[in-house]
Structure 1
Amino acid sequence: MKKETLHIVKIGGNVINNEEALTSFLKDFSELEGFKILVHGGGNRATEIASEMGLKPKMIQGRRVTDETNLEVVTMVYAGLLNKNITAQLQQNNCNALGLSGADANCMLAHKRIVKDIDYGFAGDIDAVNSEIINVFLQNNITPVFCAITHDKKGQLLNTNADTIASEIAIAMSELFHVQLNYVFELKGVLETIEDENSVIKDINLDKYEQLIEQRIISNGMIPKLHNCFNALKKGVQKVKIGDASLIKSTNKLYTTLTI
């Protein structure tokens, strides 16, 4: 039996911070035909609100350290402010969306990250994705919108990387669907030269990925993003693309495609 296609789109970066870009993207996302899931981050907005509250977010190697107070802030911003604003805009575009965290309907189970060299506080690493309940939503014409909050089923919420959430959901849903995973951010794709926004590397396989790291063309935050991409491909996801907000338009030809 042929599997139906499921589009999973993770949105982050300056696309979320830019109201005009976000509005345009959500309109395009709403027009995607068939089954779809949206995953969003929102770290910059959480940092802004924490600062307004007199809190100074702690970052180590570009990753947020989530203490109890900052966990409250990111939960309010991710699962509340951003998630519900995105859901409301999708409803405006006639996309019947449901805003969710990992705790809702037990969609995603995680554990507090084990401390090795660095203690990231209440950061969560995913253990399981409830593909059965997510499929119930999809089959009832509901588009899930996941924020970057999970839980441990012991009453503890956890701040979890949105790129990882998208990858893990894609892997779990690939048993039921032909999954296409898309990472949308402010760049047109993986760039060969960071100063040239059109220097998109159109195709990257595992060997080329390792070469680009050695050449320092890929570095910093792009490495964990691509790690999630290749992890998804290795575990059953059919296609992974990275690009800007126009990525999901059929007319867009400039983006990065990843293969193994």
Structure 2
Amino acid sequence: MENKLSVIKIGGDIIENETELSKFLTLFSNIDGPKILVHGGGKKANQVLQKMGIEPKMVNGRRITDIASLDVAIMVYGGLTNKKIVAELQSINCNAIGMSGADANAIIAHKRPIKEIDYGFAGDVDSVSNKTLSSILELGLTPIFCALTHNQKGQLLNTNADTIASELAIGMSADFETTLYYCFELNGVLKNFDDKNSVIKNIDSDAYKTLITEGVIADGMLPKMHNCFHALKKGVKEVRIGNLALFDNSNTNYTTLVL
């Protein structure tokens, strides 16, 4: 089996747009070599919660996962969204297998400790079973991970999909030369958010610190970039951030992150 692995996380705006999702899944199915897909589904989960008369709770862009929110996350992430993606990939000759962290004991996590904020049933990743996932990849299967982990004590946990992608890429770096992709609606990391073409093409550790100081990297991009550089420091070869054009070999208008 090829020793290069692609770990790709798709953002919610792509998941919510059926046309964009279909375009992405076609591009994904055509990626050479072993690959793993990670998805969330927070917008759909919010819609379901609101239909149930429950207002979603967010703090600093992160979900407060009470028991009702966890049940909805399991239904939406692990059921509705995951299985639709798997079924569509099967229709375009990508032999996908839907997974959560509990399946095959793939991702073990613990419930986030209560500090200033009680995030409820939110999970922080402890380990990734790279040997099990390598065996699945060797069978020619493509894992499709939803944003759920488990604690090995019967408890499922809601876990940030960006974090799951980062931790999977780190864990699999023991067996593969791994590239991590964050695919969302923007062309990449932008110098000026109002100018969608102001893509910063290359960011290393020094540039990362400078961009934070200048306020260019802020708000929701901060945790994403933290995951990126955490992955690079832990053995991931490269991280790329951009839109669907990430998977167009003729495109160079995206952001590449290296140490």
Q: TM class, shorter-chain normalised?
A: over 0.9
Contact 1:181 1:237 in 2 (8 A): yes
Name the aligned partner's letter for residue 186 of structure 1.
E
Name the aligned partner's letter for residue 155 of structure 1.
G
Deviations 1:152-190 (A, max 9, x none): 011111000111100111011111011011000110100
Give distance in 2, aligned partners of 1:182 and 1:6: 11
Name the aligned partner's letter for residue 64 of structure 1.
R
Question: 1:29 and 1:3, CA in 2 relative to 1: closer, same or farther beyond 3 A?
Answer: closer
Give distance in 2, aligned partners of 1:109 and 1:140: 23
Contact 1:15 1:245 in 2 (8 A): no
Give distance in 1, aligned partners of 2:49 and 2:204: 39
Contact 1:184 1:242 in 2 (8 A): yes
> Which residue pairs with 1:227 in the alignment?
226
> Which residue pairs with 1:203 in the alignment?
202
Over aligned residue pairs, what C-alpha RMSD do you find? 1.1
TM-score (norm 2): 0.98
Is 1:258 equivalent to 2:246 in the alignment? Answer: no
Alignment of 1:1-260 (within 5 A): 4-260=3-259
Which segments of 5 or more consecutive residues in structure 2 lack a partner in the other structure?
Answer: none
Give distance in 1, aligned partners of 2:162 and 2:111: 17
| % identical equivalent positions | 55
SS of the residue corresponding to residue 6 of structure 1 reads strand
How much does 1:3 deviate? 7.0
Name the aligned partner's letter for residue 127 of structure 2.
A
How much does 1:13 deviate? 2.9
Name the aligned partner's letter for residue 176 of structure 1.
D
Contact 1:25 1:246 in 2 (8 A): no
Question: 1:3 and 1:34, CA in 2 relative to 1: closer, same or farther beyond 3 A?
Answer: closer
Give distance in 2, aligned partners of 1:6 and 1:166: 12
SS of the residue corresponding to residue 141 of structure 1 reads coil
Name the aligned partner's letter for residue 194 of structure 2.
E
SS of the residue corresponding to residue 257 of structure 1 reads strand
Name the aligned partner's letter for residue 125 of structure 1.
D
Give distance in 1, aligned partners of 2:142 and 2:64: 31
Give distance in 2, aligned partners of 1:256 and 1:209: 12
Which segments of 5 or more consecutive residues in structure 1 lack a partner in the other structure?
Answer: none
Name the aligned partner's letter for residue 56 of structure 1.
E
SS of the residue corresponding to residue 247 of structure 1 reads helix
